[in-house]
Amino acid sequence: MERPKINSQSLKERFPEIYKKFFSKCFLVVSAPGNFWWAGEHSVLYGVPGIKQNLPIRVYVGLERNNMKEISFGFWRNLLPSKGTFEYLELDLSTKKGIIDILKSEIAKFNKLSSADFRINILSEVPPGSGLGFSGAFGASLAAAIYLYFKKVTIKEIKSWNETSVMELIQKRGDFNKIFRLAWKIESLIQGGNSSGGAPFCSLINSYFPIVLFSQKRTDMGELEKTDSEILPSDVSGNYDLIDRILYQGARLNDIFGLKYFNTFPIHFGLIYSGETTSTSNAVDATREEKDFLNGLIKFDREFRKDFIVPESKPHLFYSEELKKEKNLWNLYLKLSTVISLRVIGAFKNLFQKGFSKKAMKDLVKGVNDYQSFFRLLGLSTNNIEEINTFIKGIFFDKGIAGAIKITGGGMGGDILFVVPHSSLIDGLDYIIEELRKKINKNIFFDYLSWIDGIEDNGVKIEHSVESKIYSEFASEGIVYIKKMERSGDVRAITYSLQEYKKNKPKIDLLLDSVNTDIYIKNKKLTSKDIRSASTTIKMMELLLNSAEKRIKNKDLPISSYRNDRNELQSKIISPLKKAINKRLKKKLAIEIHGGITDFYIELKPTNLEIYFLEKIF
């Protein structure tokens, strides 16, 4: 049976109704890709370089209007490739509350807490518990959506990241850093307080190439208040603001080595679901147990040698003697991990710089296989994973394939990465899955195959924005998109069903219908007797609502006789509109004109008047 493609485009074609249901709820949708580790997971928390790769599957986060005047969670569907369907999932209550608290803390910096009234919807193509970066992609999408919603970043700025080196983005210490650190906090909370930031970092960045990253060396030792100010804890549970202090660095591989793009990736690789979900927090706990055990060996060694090794035996000739110089055996593991990561980075450099070669492939295979051995040292493999590992390596041996296989992510379950030269495993995929299912009695599945699903080269994307007139192809028929200026002066993009819109229309103070070029006051349409030009009025109000300062210069108005003469605009457009509103509502439209006759600006100030701007009807 032929395996279908699993990427964003193919999933939209297979499940259009799921995407329509999701997009039609939201006035803003941002997406970011999942990703996996080539090397460095776990040890990247302690300053070791990590190497990640984005995948062509995404987590979509959409914001929906919420009349409860609070932040809440709503729709969530998650792809389960092994079942070939999207299923309903949900974060636990404490995680939801923690995320909302982090968001409120960030929004408080904008002085906009009173406007934090939206519902968070999630559509994830990244399988949960797979080690493919769901929490990082979710954090990246949500953080970017929050900054867009509160106008702390523009779509243009986010798009500019694609043309900017990562090192330059980091050095600017601007919006990228703020959005990344918010995403990092969200991911860290979901991961039980432990996160290197690797997953959200890569999700924000567009790259065809692997991405290299470092984060500041941290420690598991001591309580927070006892921690050296220069060495931060790896677990930031309950104190997520510590993430603002963690130093980090990263780059696309081509930024470092000036690599060229290939029409095809120089190797084939894939991800096999092991039949077991993974938990980063559990894996980190297991790693800490191993670390404690290693450090306990130093004390054991000293007790052991005290009576066993006599001076006449020249103890300096024994490696055991070297332990006297070590204060922390865990550091030896980290040195080993660093060597493996550097080998993998060097192998990719050669593969992209010179093209495929047996030597470069051999280095990559050794690095990936060595990292699986490192996982075993940490006690992070499982019987299922070892059985899959042995079976796949047997196929490599039988076919004479220079291939490698390792866990990706936290370990103790999740997906398994394999790497092979081009075309090595194109035939026989069905046989591999059938045999593994028989052996392990689990629903083993290929979550990703590079030569079928493609290579991802996009980072965070704005998929749908009513405010910016970016509409998804999945915006369903019968949905109405509106911008609303509230009494505070804030402008919010909201969605209605057509039925809701018709029901609420009579209650709206001022409705500017750009679709039909009509203006309504409490559902009564203004005529040419009320106002000289509805089209000019609507365009003028749209410009004012879209302006961050609610202020525009006359030269930015649509071309007409009104924009060149302050008196004409005042007498034919602004005054008639003010008069109609005051007559029918006894409310004030606070539009002011400042400046000269031919060089002036218009300013819209908040009052007790609610203004609705009908953007689009599907």
Q: Where are the beta strands (DSSP E) in 102-253?
A: 118-124, 211-215, 218-219, 232-233, 248-252
CATH topology of domain 283-447: Alpha-Beta Plaits (3.30.70)
Question: What proportion of the chain, given as a percentage, has pLDDT over 70?
Answer: 92
Q: Which helix (H) or strand (E) holds 179?
A: helix 175-190
Question: Using one digit for the tens of pLDDT, what is the confidence trace for 144-186?
Answer: 999 999 999 999 999 999 999 999 999 887 899 999 999 999 9
User: Residue 311: is its pLDDT beyond 90?
Assistant: no
How many whole angstroms separate alpha carbon 399 and alpha carbon 395? Answer: 6
End-to-end CA distance of the chain: 39
Mean pLDDT of the chain: 88
Alpha-carbon span 583 to 578, nearest angstrom: 9
Which pLDDT score is estimated for 309?
57
Query: What pLDDT score does 225 carry?
Result: 46
Q: Is the pLDDT of residue 36 over 90?
A: yes
Distances (CA, A) of 32 to 23, 391, 462: 15, 34, 9
Neighbour-count burial for 179-191, b at 16+ CB within 10 Å, e otherwise: bbbbbbbbbbbbb
- Collect all residues with Cβ–Cβ distance below 8 Å to 31 and sequence separation of at least 6: 8, 58, 59, 60, 61, 137, 141, 460, 461, 463
- The type of residue at 441 is N
Residue 222's pLDDT band (boundaries 50, 70, 90)?
Answer: very low
Residue keyed to tokens 């608290």: 101
The answer, yes or no, to whether residue 305 has pLDDT greater than 80, is no
- DSSP-assigned letter for residue 329: T
Q: Is residue 291 predicted with pLDDT exceeding 80?
A: no
Tell how far CA 250 is from the center of its chain: 16
User: Which whole number is the average pLDDT over 112-139?
Assistant: 92
Is residue 320 scored above 70 in pLDDT? no
Please report, for the chain, the start and end positions of each structural domain, with discontinuous segments joined by +: 283-447, 479-617
The predicted structure's pLDDT at residue 412: 78
The length of the chain is 618
pLDDT at 85 over 50: yes
Q: Mind listing the pLDDT tens digit for each residue in 503-512?
A: 999 999 999 9
| Per-residue pLDDT band at 495 (split at 50, 70, 90) | confident
Euclidean distance between CA atoms 408 and 253, whole angstroms: 19
More reliable by pLDDT, 459 or 546: 459
User: Can you tell me the distance from the alpha carbon of 73 to that of 118, in angstroms, rounded to the nearest whole number?
Assistant: 9
DSSP-derived letter for residue 571 is I
Q: What confidence category does residue 475 fall into, taking pLDDT thresholds of 50, 70 and 90?
A: confident
Looking at residue 310, the DSSP 8-state letter turns out to be -
Q: Two tokens at 328? A: 């922390």
Average the pLDDT over 602-616 and give the result.
Answer: 92
Q: Give the helix/strand (H/E) hosting 13.
A: helix 8-14
Strands 232-233 and 218-219: parallel
3-state secondary structure 343-409: HHHHHHHHHHHHCCCHHHHHHHHHHHHHHHHHHHHCCCCCHHHHHHHHHHHHHHHHHCCCCEEEECC
